[in-house]
Structure 1
């Protein structure tokens, strides 16, 4: 058998070329003229520059000729010129409009050259007749359960899986819905505490405290405290402005105080503890549309629907502040010792929303329809009973008449 010259394989980096190039004993024809071949790959061909006068982007028709024992295989191809390098004397072309048969035949020829096999004409015909299709792989069917117990177990697993999916979906929807509801309709108070209407008694001048009323209750007009002026000057006596409880003492007898410094804090006997809560200025408009307060105390007690005192008018001074104060009734009995304790307050504005108003209208409409339907049914039943009673009376009278005759 005649020996063929060994083929040379040239590899390039993957970023430069997709397919390896081969140097094979073959010919290339363009317009009937031979063109020296440098190398060949599945995706294109490289020829010498002086044999072609083309520019990048041109489409040329070429014929690839492969010599075998006793015959020569020709394969017409179309190629696009990608580059023409004068430095390397090379024209690189890429095969375009390649049919599946052309691709199969080119791969077969390259593999035959590389393996050194003798290619016969029948082999080429088999490759040309080969269809570029693959069989669809059949998926094996799942075995059906046999017996009542196996069927019940499979059904139970299926129901458990569906149940888990439904439960996860419900939890996810609930989580998202809760977040949306809190963002749209819940206003948490920035700060809240228990307080009362207090009166702070300051020192009228610099001096020494010589008298402070004892006890926790003081009547209106009673002496409250006495301040001795510096260097034995005249004393100043302050009387109680109300019937009050002493809420706090900031100084004692014989202490020196400065003018304006707080000495006592009083709370009127008629004043009850209440809650003040501050909300952001950006949520004031939502608050005015209607809100329900929920208060949680330090002992864990939670009170819902806490009454909200009449909301004060929103003034320019409030607009300049960063928060808006709201007064709340405590909703439970509080001791005086609770004054000053912090609490947690949350405002629910859903009651003043359009969705709530629409829901109430729909509920009222359904109630009206239910009441009207019940009334009509009652009237119909009353007429039926009256008609039946009349028929029974006529029949009874007829029987009496018949017996008398």
Structure 2
């Protein structure tokens, strides 16, 4: 055996000089060289027409037997006076390719090939699925590119959503103050108890329009005296501070009345530590418990909360100091809703941006 090395042309498979006979057109020739993909014939076998296809029979001798392998081949070069024709195997089946590879490897390694080994190679299927081409895998088809674009788009959307969520959370923690408040009016009138006793009847519910001298409640003193509590104006009963059967003291607040033309404000109380971030002119948003659309407003006043005259001794020393926040609304609401609890969100973002813009201009 002799290994032929060609420096000018690097072949995919090495050509070997092994004793193989080739039957071509009824004639038998000794192959000058053979590989897994083709063979060379001696000059006397030519010339052959380039591109022509022929049916060959390879006869490969072993120690105690000879193996015949029918195979098809195509002429790659027709040959000449000193160089014989070169043929490339075509339409090679998987079993033919497996057998040729086994024979070539056996001759390269010097392995003794027996008849049982040949039958075993011919019977088995040692092929595995081919790996995808690197260029095709890198480029991909239209479907692969579409999946890639969709994946990148989804990843970008998720990234932007996380960025917006984190940014919004930081902004809300830094520039937004939340509080619970009540829809009220600056022109409200508090009707108080004219004497101490039990409230026998509370005749008017919150949200009711009443005229002057309308009876609001009936109070019976301990001595049996009965007093009627009447409305001092043509108003809307905004809220009640007592219930039927409750004992009240003299001058204790019974109900709150609001004139029909009174403007509404939202009143909330915050600890002074939280209220120091709130300034008049800040934007505010009022959310209602019934889920209706939020109403915009503006912070008008920030001042210390007054002591409730109806409490016993006012605020104790253990109670934290509070600030009273008043917010005017951008639209009028029904007076009947005065006294309703609301959620208040106060934002200082606009004030901060305006201050930063003014600082940059300077």
Interval containing the TM-score (normalised by the shorter chain): 0.3 to 0.5
Structure with the larger helix share? 1
TM-score w.r.t. the length of structure 2 is: 0.45
> Larger relative CO (CA 8 A, sep 6+): 1 or 2?
2
Higher strand share: 2
Q: TM-score with structure 1 length normalisation?
A: 0.41
